[in-house]
A = this chain, B = another copy of it.
Amino acid sequence: MGGDHGPSIVAPGIAQAAQSLPGVRFLLHGDAAAIEAELAKHPKARAVSEVRHCDKAIGMDEKPAQAMRRGKGSSMWNAIEALRANEAHACVSAGNTGALMAISKLILRMGADLERPAIVANWPNMKGVTTVLDVGANVQSDADQLIEFAIMGAAFHHAMHGAKRPTVGLLNVGSEDEKGHEEVREAHAILREAKLDFDYHGFVEGSDIAYGTVDVVVTDGFTGNVALKTAEGMARFFSSEIKSTLTSGPLAMLGALIASGALSKMRKRLDPSRVNGAPLLGLNGIVVKSHGGADANGFESALRVAVNLARSDFRAQIDRNLQRLTAAAAKDEAPASGQDQGAAE
């Protein structure tokens, strides 16, 4: 029921996914009449969907705390509850992000040994797609949380793109060891020594996101959110510049017409709906946020993110890396505590 368009993009998005993601079935939570009306236009979606009616929906402007208090029985709540009850393997919503995070944490709780959730952005770049996290679940992150984000981000990138050993970078203001604040330097020192299922590249800078220097860029939710929105603003600025340039006079318009094939290929390559679908990682269950303004193609992308995660060993990989980290930390501490005892004697 959420986002700018509600069921009118969900139904055609599912119709596309019915073909691109064979074998997947959908539980649709919300106003049954509104949903059925849209499904009637898309028989392929109708064939793989079951509708669960409810009267309530969380508003796009509701504060998270308010959504948690009055959210029970809403479409968002019921969709997440179906996940907890093992009726669904993943949940996709185009609704209120803060409410989705708050209700997901409340119902699903954090995954074992994970401290904080993270929101992921999929960022088109010169080589492919960068996984950037956290882009807004937290406003501050200590070293342990940054390391968790690295582990979750690598597992996500592997599930989405198949890279056996994704490369991971820690976002900083320079690449030298002494750069940045204490939190990033501490996380850097630990990741450099850790033997995990990915290759830790070291510090990266903001420009490396667009260059595709690494597969996964790790940062705190404040910096990540500012970077993501700065890039979105720049993208809109550039596309408005190109548009106004190519409509600025008869010659410009003629040139654009002649180059229209190449220009439309570029538009497709840079289309944000191609990379839509931001998972909320760290929870006991797969929850994916679709952009509120996404169209049917974008919603299909978000469904693909959810299905790829559900079909991967994503959670097992996170657990494996967390265990290795704990084992390494225990080994480091063992001789140190022995020395302490020796000194005390």
Query: Which A residues lie at the B interface, using CB under 8 A?
Result: 125-126, 136, 139-140, 171, 173, 179-181, 205-211, 219, 221-223, 225-238, 240-242, 245-246, 248-249, 251-252, 254-263, 265-266, 269-270
Copy number in this complex? 2
Q: A248-B262, A255-B256, A258-B258 are in contact. Are A207 and B233 (CB under 8 A)?
A: yes
Q: Are B226 and A173 in contact (CB under 8 A)?
A: yes
Docked CA distance A206–B233 (Å): 7
Q: Is the interface of A mostly helix, strand, loop or mixed?
A: helix
Residues of chain B contacted by A205 (CB below 8 angstroms): 225-226, 229
Closest chain B residue to A248, Cβ basis? B262
Docked CA distance A261–B246 (Å): 10
Residues of chain B contacted by A246 (CB below 8 angstroms): 259, 262
Q: Are A207 and B227 in contact (CB under 8 A)?
A: no
Docked CA distance A222–B251 (Å): 44
Docked CA distance A173–B228 (Å): 10
Please give the distance in Å from A246's CB to the nearest CB on chain B: 6
Q: A180-B139, A258-B254 are in contact. Are A230 and B245 (CB under 8 A)?
A: no
Residues of chain B contacted by A206 (CB below 8 angstroms): 225-233
Residues of chain B contacted by A126 (CB below 8 angstroms): 237, 240
Please give the distance in Å from A101's CB to the nearest CB on chain B: 13
Please give the distance in Å from A274's CB to the nearest CB on chain B: 14
Q: Can you pick out 17 interface pairs between chain A and chain B where the beta carbons lie within 8 Å of each other?
A: A125-B237, A126-B237, A136-B173, A173-B222, A181-B222, A205-B229, A207-B236, A210-B234, A211-B233, A211-B237, A219-B226, A222-B223, A223-B223, A234-B238, A248-B262, A249-B262, A255-B255
Residues of chain B contacted by A260 (CB below 8 angstroms): 255
Residues of chain B contacted by A257 (CB below 8 angstroms): 255
